[in-house]
Amino acid sequence: MDYRREELLPGVWLTALRTGKFKTGTLTLTLLSQLDAETASMHALIPSVLRRGTVSLPDMESIASRLDSLYGAQAESAVRRVGEVQCSGFFSSFPEDRLLPERASLLRQVSALLGELLLRPNTRGGLLLPDYVNSERDKLCERIRAQKNDKDSYAVQRLVQLMCPCEAVAAGTLGSEESAEAIHYTKLTRRWRELTAAAPIELFYCGSEGFGAVSDALAEALTGLPRGELDADIGTDVRMNAMESAPREFTDHMDVTQGKLAMGWRLGESMEEPDVPALLVFNAVFGGSVTSKLFMNVRERLQLCYYASSGLDWQKGLLLVSSGVAFDKLGAARDEIFAQLEAIKRGEVTAEELEAARLSVRNRYASMGDDPFALESHYLSMNIAGSDASPEDIAAACDGVTAEDVVRIAQNTDCDAIYYLKAGEGKSDDDQA
């Protein structure tokens, strides 16, 4: 793939991957903002409201009809988090012109649509329409409430909130139900205007068109973009060490039939100069693959849990373990998870474990080349981190990760918090398991 990245407009960066591999082109527009409890819900809501209608396409039916006329192109709102950076915007995909009976300039037309969604939404008196705002606000509140339904992800979310109470990451990608319910259309309009004027914008394209055609189409689509003083202090604050000498323990009680155990570590000195391939291989050795110590020992050999896996938020410097456990085995599972990490700290990493972990990470990053949206997610994360490392670069670098690297990262970890979800009616405390 031919990679190119340039600043298209002030604070507007275009990352383009030219390839003829896919039958569809991919185009995304993402506004970056500092994750904050006061604005998280508004930033999550804005793309959904803008997607309801524009000046020339005043409602969702009109937008759907327009997309149908573009050979079934797709354009959807999206909100996500990278470290403590909130990412709000639009995803789109469309058939490649080269595969159509006649060149339809879909890239230019879809670019124009995304520009209109962002800059020229349907308004009345200069304000976003109350009906659209209220409807999408209700949907957002329902999404926030529904997070509790997936107990696995909810347990990790609660862990992060409790582990990082005074840090931006605690706000969550969608914000709180209380802050969402308080959103008024006048306040949201003001925030939309502030965001379009000040937010850094990341554009991503993957397809067969040349860089010049892509940049021209997007520059035209963003004509009239109000650029004021850009938010320069967007990033992630990394706390190296745990808040207390011993891990803090928290317990929630809900109507559940299976216990949940979530554990969080700070990555410590490994975050001074993060070695991403080494961090990824370490995670695969510990709990991030089907050959990991957590999977093979805690789950398979000892049968202490229904599942156990670890994940990295390497931008924030967090190692997070998620596990489903019978209520009477919560303590034993916790102790064995600690024991598996201690084994790594002692250097108990076999050549077979190391190579299996390398292979797992290599395969994961190699497969990104088959999914344009996975590529987009990767480059967005790298761009925010100030890196231009490709998936191929990271995959190749895994070969140089040694057992000593894995041990060093393990030794730098510092357990900060443990979260238990047990059966019961709505009680919360900080009992020991």
Backbone angles phi, psi at 243, to 5 degrees: -70, -30
CA-to-CA distance for 299 and 326, rounded, in angstroms? 12
CA-to-CA distance for 39 and 336, rounded, in angstroms? 40
Mean pLDDT (the chain, rounded): 96
Task: Judge whether 2-221 and 248-429 match in fold.
Answer: yes
CA-to-CA distance for 378 and 363, rounded, in angstroms? 15
Residue 344 tokens read as 């790594």
CA-to-CA distance for 206 and 22, rounded, in angstroms? 9
Domain ranges of the chain: 2-221, 248-429
Task: Dump pLDDT digits (tens) for 393-416.
Answer: 999 999 999 999 999 999 999 999
Q: CA angle, corner 122, sides to 111 and 145, nearest 5?
A: 90
Task: Dump pLDDT digits (tens) for 362-377.
Answer: 999 999 999 999 999 9
CATH-assigned architecture of domain 248-429 = 2-Layer Sandwich (3.30)
Task: Dump pLDDT digits (tens) for 273-295.
Answer: 999 999 999 999 999 999 999 99
Residue 366 tokens read as 């190699």
CA-to-CA distance for 169 and 275, rounded, in angstroms? 22
Taking domain 2-221, whether its CATH number is 3.30.830.10 is answered by yes
Looking at the chain, the whole-number percentage of residues with pLDDT higher than 90 is 95
Task: Dump pLDDT digits (tens) for 351-364.
Answer: 999 999 999 999 99
**141-169 burial string, b = 16+ CB within 10 Å, else e?**
bebbeebeeebbebbbbbbbbbbbeebbb
On whether the CB atoms of residues 28 and 203 are closer than 8 A, the answer is yes
